[in-house]
Amino acid sequence: MRPFVYERPASVSAAAAIASRFAAEGVPPTEAAAQFIAGGTNLADYMRLGVAQPARLVDLNGLGDRALRQIEVGDDSIRFGALVRMGEAADTGEIKRRCPMLAESLKFAASGQIRNMASLAGNVLQRTRCEYFRETSWPCNKREPGSGCAAMEGFNRQHAVLGTSNACIATYHGDFAQALIALGATVEVEARRGMRKIAFSRLHRLPRDTPNVETELAPDEVITAIEVPLGAWSRRSRYVKIRDRESYAFALASAAVALDMDGDTVSQARIALGGVATVPWRARAAEEALSGKALDDEAAEAAAEAAFAEAKPREHNAFKIPLGKRTLVRALLETRDMKV
Amino acid sequence: MSETPLASLSRRSFMTGSVSAAAAGPLMATSAKAAAPQPAASAEPRDLSAISLRINKQPYNLALDNRTSLLDALRDHVGLTGTKKGCDHGQCGACTVLVDGKRVLSCLSFAVMNKGHEITTVEGLASADGNLHPMQQAFIDNDAFQCGYCTPGQIMSAIGCINEGHAGSEGDIREYMSGNLCRCAAYPNIVAAIMQAQDETRKA
């Protein structure tokens, strides 16, 4: 592991100032000399593997602002402080009641220990577990731009079928992010030049030709809060996750579904898919296929077909297309049948 | 009470400590009385940071490279080798300890980030008179281990799991203990031990 200087600022502005001092033009946060750490569950691992090589770690756990550690459940929204840990959010009764999808996406992620450590903001920024990204002896366009992609013709069973490019097919593994993109969340970020809000759907970037640039964030921008609007769809919501083993594994396929129903008819569907795409993935085509329709088996299957119409399989991951469709169908029907 | 942890070092940790001390200066734990806590921020990446930790209710003042994980600090610098290194990547749970009563993975935490927190390892569970913690006793009663390597992590995780309120049923225990792998597959007996120790652990 590369040696690093450790700093523990007491305010967001001080943290942003340190990061700003070491930021360089055109260098994304994941390659910056100074990087933020909160839970450390992803970054410490990648530093040990040599994938991440910050020369300076800015520990956010000393930040004094109490709102960073609070969950506020209001009438119209839930606001998560960025430093709230996954486990606390998953166990909050009001969240389980008002928007089950949010709590389930957290409960089914990682392990009890990791959920106690990992911050919500850090969780949504977690990096892929592509084996070729993790092991620095392989070429990888995400880790070393221009070096090539060993996954394309390699063992790509866990790789993405949606949102891929010729440069990268690494899966975005997070679960919470699927709930956030389905629900239309907003991320609040702070830097020395001020605050801004980013729609969660715009936070992550498709890999395209620059898979090393993963988000819209600048290296000195600190996520301070995540705000999730509540609506007629929130209570009738689920997160279904399919894995190689029943617990403590990344999704092979998952579906976040929230439905606003008028009798048997779908007024509004909100759908996101995990384990199958390079970024958090809102399935707009599936939502449109369901809008105004009676939600029966046939409609659910048509929505699933629409969701994967653009899917591009590789040698070992073609199974994710039928698995992803069946996961979505199951999630739609189970969500329809929820008693709310 | 503050004693010099050097006195209780095992052979293995003494050897590890000796090697790194020879290579990189004063890395071993010092007596809590010997040095006042210093600011942890270092100026150069290779500077050692002065780190005060509270482990099993004892204060320790350490001078550590910032790269030192909490796990390595416990095992190689404090001499508490009960906490085990399995994968060193957060995948197996063998290194589980409690920080402020919550179970975490000590391999994924830098020691320097744990200043001011109360760390509990498996060595801190038994009472001063040698009576085992109810969870330790339950693991013995239920034959909940074979090779024993994952056991300290299992026990610390089980205590955390109960404190979190997630050990109400066998199904819950299996779900919420999934971060602790046992290659001997003693899982049925581990679940039984946790069921047995629930009430007493809540009181402990």
* pLDDT tens digits for range A316-336: 999 999 999 999 999 999 999
Give yes or no for a contact between A304 and A325, defined as CB atoms under 8 angstroms apart: yes
Of B66, B107, B109, Cβ closest to residue A6: B66
Summarised one tens digit per residue, pLDDT across range B158-170 is 999 999 999 999 9
- CB of B85 closer than 8 Å to CB of B107: yes
Q: Are A159 and A169 in contact (CB under 8 A)?
A: yes
B151 occurs within a structural domain? yes
CATH number at residue B80: 3.10.20.30
CB contact under 8 A, A116 and B103: yes
Whether B67 is covered by a domain: the verdict is: yes
Q: How confident is the model at residue B41 (pLDDT cuts 50, 70, 90)?
A: low
Q: Tens digit of pLDDT for each residue in A125-151? A: 999 999 999 999 999 999 999 999 999
Domain that holds residue B108: 6-33+46-124
Does pLDDT of B86 surpass 70? yes
Q: Locate A42 and state its tokens.
A: 């992803």
Q: Are residues B80 and B108 in the same domain?
A: yes
Chain B touched by A184 (CB under 8 Å): no
Q: Does B167 lie in the same domain as B77?
A: no
A240-336 — its CATH code?
3.30.390.50
Q: Kindly state the percentage of chain A with pLDDT values over 90.
A: 100
- Residues in chain B closer than 8 A to A38 (CB atoms): none
Q: Which of A35, A46, A57, A113 to mutate to test the interface with B (most CBs of B within 10 A)?
A: A113
Q: Answer whether residue B16 shows pLDDT above 50.
A: no
Q: What is the dihedral of CA B107, B113, B116, B121, to 10 degrees?
A: 0
Q: Answer yes or no: do A117 and B41 touch at CB < 8 A.
A: no
Residue B19 scores a pLDDT above 80: no
- According to the model, what pLDDT value does residue B22 have? 36
Interval A8-38: pLDDT, tens: 999 999 999 999 999 999 999 999 999 999 9
pLDDT of B12 > 70? The answer is: no
Q: Please indicate, yes or no, if residue B19 is contained in any of the structural domains.
A: yes
Look at chain B and report how many structural domains it folds into: 2
Q: Does residue B189 lie in a domain region?
A: yes
Q: What is the CATH number of the domain that holds B165?
A: 1.10.150.120
Same domain? B100 vs B162:
no
pLDDT, position B204? 78
Name the domain boundary from B61, B91, B124.
B124
Q: Is B24 in the same domain as B76?
A: yes
Let me know whether B23 and B79 are in one domain. yes
pLDDT digit string (tens) for A231-260? 999 999 999 999 999 999 999 999 999 999
Q: Where are the domains of chain A?
A: 5-62, 240-336
Q: From its phi and psi, is residue A222 left (phi > 0), alpha (psi between -120 and 50) or beta?
A: beta
- pLDDT at B7 exceeding the cut of 90: no
Looking at the structure, do residues B117 and B147 belong to the same domain, yes or no? Answer: no
B41 belongs to a structural domain: no
This prediction's pTM: 0.92
State yes or no: pLDDT of A112 exceeds 70: yes
Instruction: Looking at the structure, tell me whether residues B24 and B98 fall in a common domain.
Output: yes
**pLDDT classification of B42: cutoffs 50, 70, 90:** low
| Integer Cα distance of B94 and B150 in angstroms | 5
Among candidate residues A264, A263, A204, A258, the one with its CA nearest the CA of residue A232: A258
How does pLDDT run across A175-188, given as a tens digit for each residue?
999 999 999 999 99
Q: The tokens of A176 are what?
A: 């919470």
User: Of B106, B124, B142, which residue constitutes the final position of a domain?
Assistant: B124
Residue B178 lies in a domain: yes
Within a 10 A sphere around the Cβ of B87, how many other Cβ atoms? Answer: 14
Among residues B12, B201, B29, the alpha carbon closest in space to that of B125 is found at B201
Give the B-side interface with A, CB within 8 Å: 40-47, 49, 65-67, 69, 88-90, 93, 96, 102-105, 107-110, 112-113, 157, 160-161, 164-166, 174-180
Yes or no, beta carbons of B179 and A57 under 8 Å apart: no
The pLDDT of residue B23 is 38
Residue B33 has pLDDT above 70, yes or no: no
Q: Is residue B1 part of a domain?
A: no
B88 contacts: CB under 8 Å, gap ≥ 6 = A48, B69, B71, B95, B107
pLDDT in tens, B98-123: 999 999 999 999 999 999 999 999 99
pLDDT at B5 over 50: no
Chains A, B: CB contacts within 8 A come to 105
pLDDT at B30 over 80: no
Same domain, B146 and B176: yes
In this complex, do A6 and B42 lie within 8 Å of one another by their Cβ atoms?
A: yes
Domain endpoint, select from B124, B147, B167: B124
By C-alpha distance, the chain A residue nearest B105 is A113
Between chains, do B157 and A113 touch, taking CB under 8 Å as contact?
Answer: yes
pLDDT for B4: 42
Among the listed residues A338, A265, A269, A332, the one whose alpha carbon sits nearest the alpha carbon of residue A304: A332
The residue among B98, B104, B166 with the most chain A CBs within 10 A of its CB, best to mutate, is B104
Determine the pLDDT at residue A181. 98
Residues B69, B118 share a domain:
yes
Q: Is residue B106 a part of any domain in this protein?
A: yes
Rounded Cα distance between B23 and B61, Å, is 20
> Which of the four CATH numbers 3.40.50.970, 3.30.43.10, 3.30.1360.120, 3.30.70.100 does domain A5-62 have?
3.30.43.10
Tokens of B41: 């921020």
Q: Quick check: A121 pLDDT over 80?
A: yes
User: Is the distance from CB of B80 to CB of B121 less than 8 angstroms?
Assistant: yes
CB contact under 8 A, A8 and B41: yes
Nearest by Cα to A86 from A129, A56, A121: A121
Backbone angles phi, psi at A229, to 5 degrees: -70, 140
Same domain assignment for residues B105 and B13: yes
pLDDT of B43 reads 77
Residue A113 with chain B: CB contacts under 8 Å: 90, 93, 96, 103-105, 157, 160, 179
Give the pLDDT confidence score for residue B26 in this predicted structure: 38
Q: Phi first, then psi: what are they for A289, rounded to 5°?
A: -65, -25
- pLDDT greater than 60 at residue A281: yes
Residue predicted with more confidence, B30 or A192: A192
- By C-alpha distance, the chain B residue nearest A46 is B89
For A:21-40, CB contacts with B below 8 A are 37, 39-40
Residue A243 to residue B70: CA distance in whole angstroms: 31
Q: Is pLDDT at B132 greater than 50 in this prediction?
A: yes
Q: What is the pLDDT of residue B45?
A: 87
